[in-house]
Structure 1
Amino acid sequence: MLYCLDSFTLGQSKSVPESSFLSQQHPQSIHDHGLTMLTSILAAAGLSLPVVLADLGLQDNGSLSIVDFLRILESFSIELRDESLHMSKRPLLPGTNDHVLANLSRCETLLDALQQLASSYNFIHGGAYNRVEVKDREVVYVIDDHDFPYLDDSSSEHIRFNLECVLLYVHGVICSLSHPQQADLIKVQSRIPSKQQSLLLAAFPNLPIRHTASCYALHYPVELAKIKLCSEQNIPLTSAQVYSGLQQYLLVEPDSHENLLTKVRSALKAGLHSQEAVADCLGCSVATLRRKLADCNSSFRKAREKFLNQEAKILLSQQMNLDDIAHKLGFSDSRSFNRAFKAWNGMTPRDFVDNQ
């Protein structure tokens, strides 16, 4: 079944004024089914949605934006220490996605990057589940999961839900490597049986979305293949930047609270540990950064501590020694890192490793 909203027919858009198109392109929030699925996934790991929302500074108001939903999954994967969200028999250690993204910096065009992305994940998962097809008028990123090594207790409903999240993430990668306005999707396809259950409808309300398809896919104009990677990126590509790029594509207000926090996390990820350096990176004064973070009910100290805690858990999961972690995260020595980690988590780094 192919589902098309009013402004589009399959493979061909009607003439719509740019301002009208932009207003229609604004994403919707996810409600009933999406929240039910998210609550179920969290509950299986012993977590509750209200607690997770509060930890991320989000409101529990019965709906959730697509970007906030992806933030929850990102945070959830760190807590599980498995970026496959316990779906795969080959778990992905925290930091796997950032490692894959770092290798894309060697690519010259978006086509090169997409092919590298597909190849990297195929290598990690041990099978040819991702591929890039170049046709006369389209470039298509395809995910065919028919023989994927899912865990035996993974429900088909959770799997389909997770794969739509992967499609959103891949699109975020494309947005981050170019400019969001260049990442011009033509259509999307999913194995979800009905549009009411799809996250994609909320993210792309004006795109043709084919449900009950044989695989998952993102369709772009063939011109995308020749686009050079964005040369304006001064910060190495990370998952945080991917979510930021996705926000820009989904037309979240550029000065929104979440966009600011994402930019701060990206700067911290690049090794800018002082408030002055981060403010300079964002093109504002320290006073302005402090005021804007206060508007988000946050502070530079809170944002930095949360970032360092997440990074520390990733590095500990990768079995890096404490001295190297302390140096990488900007601590004077391992004792200072130990004290900070215990203050954040109520346990020492060694206790954290032993409990894995």
Structure 2
Amino acid sequence: MGHFALTIRDTFMVNLGQATVTQQFTKAIVAALDGSDLPPNDELNQLLAKIRPYKRVPMPLQDELWRLLVRLYPDPGLGLKLGLQVQPGHLDVVGFLLLSCDTLEDAMDVLLTYHPIVGEGGEFVSTQDDHSCRLIYAPFHNVVRAQRVEAVMATLVRLTRYLTGEAFNPGFVTFQHEPTLSVVEYEQALGCEVRFGQLADALVFDTSQLSLPLVQANSDLFDQMRSLADDQLSQLQQFDLRSQIANLIREHPNWGKERIAEALGMSGRHLNRNLSREGVTFKILADQTRLSMAEDLLAQQVSKADIAERLGFNDESAFFKAFKRWTGLTPTEFEQRGTRR
């Protein structure tokens, strides 16, 4: 890998206009294989090597990981198995923030506020009445949806019990999809009633349990972790401008800084100032986005002439020179290595 590409990927939490997932949760899903009866695999290791340079894993790579897991391990209970192995530390700073909360209600507020730090592949919302509380997970993805939702719900049930010293007693879990195991197997794994074909994927429990104390409550640690979580959430939100720019570059790779700025309703100078506050320049972001596009197209075996045209280069030679500058490899050498960073 060339110095340019390595510097970019190691310095920034890159999402290139896409949702991301923390490395910790991605590692947790794979580490959970060690706690199950699923054997390791070379193809999986190769994909993990491709994921490793990212500080936050772009959702397309996370999708690729789940596709591979389902293909390598065609176990209908895979999502449940992996979700039940997740530990608080796998949730980055959010996990330690959850541990230090006073009550289950506090922990739920933390999850609702800070869950994007763990992953931007879905959203948590809650509803409650006099008798029951519903913690609803709304995924934004459709790739391997059932297994991933089951992993999230199993993680919720497992961690909530862990946080409360096993005092938490869920009423039932609902899934939008139909079961891939027997209902009895689901209920044995989750320790509660499970319903399928429902309107939402949700964990439902008695409202009185919101007052359950957490066994590792620590107000001093909570304040420290919340400060870190606020910083990380703020950093994620700052990437919204980068996301908009990257999306425009993907749609119009031949547009320059001034044209992109105009589309965003600002001057080129204002765009530069905003990006400089985030420690990045328009050129770095544009080159990085085009590199990602080039890698995707090379992996799809699109001709190099077509790639040059799609990326806005005048000719194939100009594309080759840019790719060599970005990666230290020619497109042909890159293909021969068979690796994508």
TM-score (normalizing by structure 1) = 0.43
- Structure number with greater Rg is 2
Structure richer in helix, relative to its length? 2
TM-score with structure 2 length normalisation? 0.45
